C-alpha cells in the first residue's frame, strides 16, 4: 500500500451540467473501464441466473425478520426485548440495503417478478424511492466515484467525519431520505435527481414516494393512538437503530480510495468477512468484482474473486483490517483532500490504467 498525493482542484460534487461537462471533457464520464480478462465461456457460467440461492436467503431473512419482530411485540416493555430489537433492527435496517441493491440489478433471482417484489419491499425498508434510486445506481455504475457525476459517493472529500459517525445511527441519511420522499410525494424531484431520472419516470417516482409516505404517516398515527413507540420500533425506526451494519460494510466499498479513475481496482475495495456479515451484505464485500462484472449474481462472486484475484490488489482480510486502512486515509484527507490509498498490485496483475488518473 502506498500513499498518493496529487494536485487536483477542490472537488465540487454537485451533479450540475457544468460538472458533468468537465467529467466528459476529461474522458471520465461514460468511460470505458478496465476489466480483467475472463474468457466468455467462464463468464457465461458465472453470470448464469438461478432462483435457488436467493429464495433460500430470502426465506431465512424474512423468517428471522418475522420471528424477531414477533419477539419484539411479545416482550415489549421488558428488558428481554433488547436482543430481539437488535436482531430485528439489523435484519430490517441493514440487510435491506443489500437486497435493494442486488434485486435492483436484477441478478439476485432468475425470475423477474421476484427481483421486483423484493426490490420494492427493500426500497421501503431502506427509505429509498425505488424509481429515483434505480437511476441513481445506474449512474453509480456508469461513473463510479467520478466527482460531479456519481450521486452515491458516501464520503466526499474532505470527509465530514461527524456525519459519517452519526450515519451509523441513520441521523443524516434518514433526514435526507424522508425529505426526498416528501418532496417526491408532492411532485417535486430534486435537482440531482432530475439529472439522472428520465422525464418518463417522474410520475412513477411520485407515486412510489406517496405509498412510502402514507405507510410512515400511518405508523406515526398508530404510535400516537397507542401511546407507544412500538410501531416506530417496528417500522421506520430500524433504519436508524439497525443501520450500523450497512454503514460498517458500505463505507468500505470505496472509502479512502481513489476518485476520478476508470479502473475499479483503484476506487473499490474487496474485504473478506465473516459469514454472518456476508449473509447480511449478500456478498457485496466482493466489491471490486461486483463493479467490474455487475452481471454476476451475489452467489457467484466468491468464485469470481478466486478467478481474478491474480489481477486485483490483495483483498483486505477482515473488516477491522479494512478500517485500519480507511480511517487513517480519512484523517489524512482532512488535511489534504487529494490523498488516497493506492494498494499494490500483485506481480501477476496488469498495471493500473494510468491514462486518466492525473487530471
Partner 1 sequence: MSDWINICATDDIEEEDVIRFDHGARSFAIYHSPEGEFFATDGLCTHEQVHLADGLVMDHIIECPKHNGQFNYKTGQATRLPACDHLGTYPVRVEGGRVQIQLTE
Q: What are the residues binding partner 1 (CB under 8 A)?
A: 30, 40, 43-44, 47-49, 105-107, 112, 134-135, 138, 141-142, 198, 200-201, 293-295
Which lies closer to partner 1 via its Cβ, residue 247 or residue 284? 284
CB 264 within 8 A of CB 292: yes
What's the grid cell of residue 13? 460534487
CA 56 to chain centre: 22
- Packing angle, helices 171-185 and 202-226, rounded to 10: 120
Instruction: Write down the least CB distance from residue 79 to partner 1, Å.
Output: 46
Instruction: Write down the least CB distance from residue 142 to partner 1, Å.
Output: 6
* CA–CA distance, 65 with 81 (Å, rounded to integer): 14
Which lies closer to partner 1 via its Cβ, residue 137 or residue 342? 137
* CA–CA distance, 293 with 105 (Å, rounded to integer): 11
Which lies closer to partner 1 via its Cβ, residue 200 or residue 225? 200
Which lies closer to partner 1 via its Cβ, residue 240 or residue 288? 288
* CA–CA distance, 102 with 298 (Å, rounded to integer): 7
Smallest CA-to-CA distance from 125 within 234, 51, 230, 285 is with 234
What's the grid cell of residue 125? 425498508
Instruction: Write down the least CB distance from residue 54 to partner 1, Å.
Output: 15
Ramachandran area for residue 55 (φ above 0: left; ψ -120 to 50: alpha; else beta): alpha
Dihedral, CA of residue 258, residue 264, residue 266 and residue 271, to nearest 10: 100
Instruction: Write down the least CB distance from residue 29 to partner 1, Å.
Output: 10
Instruction: Write down the least CB distance from residue 219 to partner 1, Å.
Output: 29
Which lies closer to partner 1 via its Cβ, residue 201 or residue 337? 201
Instruction: Write down the least CB distance from residue 130 to partner 1, Å.
Output: 11
Which lies closer to partner 1 via its Cβ, residue 35 or residue 324? 35
Amino acid at each position: 500500500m502506498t500513499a498518493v498525493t496529487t494536485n487536483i482542484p477542490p472537488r465540487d460534487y454537485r451533479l450540475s451540467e457544468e460538472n458533468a461537462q468537465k467529467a466528459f471533457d476529461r474522458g471520465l464520464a461514460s468511460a470505458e473501464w478496465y476489466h480483467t480478462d475472463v474468457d466468455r465461456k467462464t463468464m457465461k457460467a458465472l453470470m448464469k441466473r438461478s432462483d435457488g440461492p436467493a429464495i433460500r436467503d430470502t426465506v431465512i431473512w424474512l423468517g428471522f425478520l418475522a420471528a424477531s419482530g414477533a419477539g419484539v411485540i411479545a416482550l415489549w416493555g421488558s428488558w428481554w426485548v433488547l436482543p430481539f430489537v437488535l436482531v430485528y433492527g439489523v435484519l430490517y435496517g441493514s440487510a435491506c440495503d443489500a437486497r435493494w441493491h442486488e434485486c435492483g440489478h436484477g441478478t439476485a433471482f432468475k425470475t423477474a417478478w421476484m427481483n421486483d417484489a423484493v426490490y420494492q419491499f427493500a426500497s421501503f425498508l431502506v427509505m429509498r424511492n425505488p424509481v429515483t434510486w434505480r437511476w441513481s445506481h445506474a449512474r453509480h455504475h456508469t461513473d463510479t466515484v467520478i466527482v460531479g457525476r456519481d450521486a452515491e459517493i458516501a464520503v466526499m472529500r474532505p470527509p465530514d467525519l461527524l456525519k459519517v459517525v452519526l450515519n451509523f445511527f441513520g441521523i443524516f441519511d434518514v433526514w435526507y431520505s424522508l425529505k426526498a420522499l416528501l418532496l417526491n410525494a408532492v411532485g417535486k424531484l430534486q435537482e440531482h435527481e432530475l439529472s439522472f431520472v428520465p422525464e418518463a419516470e417522474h410520475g412513477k417516482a411520485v407515486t412510489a414516494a406517496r405509498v412510502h409516505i402514507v405507510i410512515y404517516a400511518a405508523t406515526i398515527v398508530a404510535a400516537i393512538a397507542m401511546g407507544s413507540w412500538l410501531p416506530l420500533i417496528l417500522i421506520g425506526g430500524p433504519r436508524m437503530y439497525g443501520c450500523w451494519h450497512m454503514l460498517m460494510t458500505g463505507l468500505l466499498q470505496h472509502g479512502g480510495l481513489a476518485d476520478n479513475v476508470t479502473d475499479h481496482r483503484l476506487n473499490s475495495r474487496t474485504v473478506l468477512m465473516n459469514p454472518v456479515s456476508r449473509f447480511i451484505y449478500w456478498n457485496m464485500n466482493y466489491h471490486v468484482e461486483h463493479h467490474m462484472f455487475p452481471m454476476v449474481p451475489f452467489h457467484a462472486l466468491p468464485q469470481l474473486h478466486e478467478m481474478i484475484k491474480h489481477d486485483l490488489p490483495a483483498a483486505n482480510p477482515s473488516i477491522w483490517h479494512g478500517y485500519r486502512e480507511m480511517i487513517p486515509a480519512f484523517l489524512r484527507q482532512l488535511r489534504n483532500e487529494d490523498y488516497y490509498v493506492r494498494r499494490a498490485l500483485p506481480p501477476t496483475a496488469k498495471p493500473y490504467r494510468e491514462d486518466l488518473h492525473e487530471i
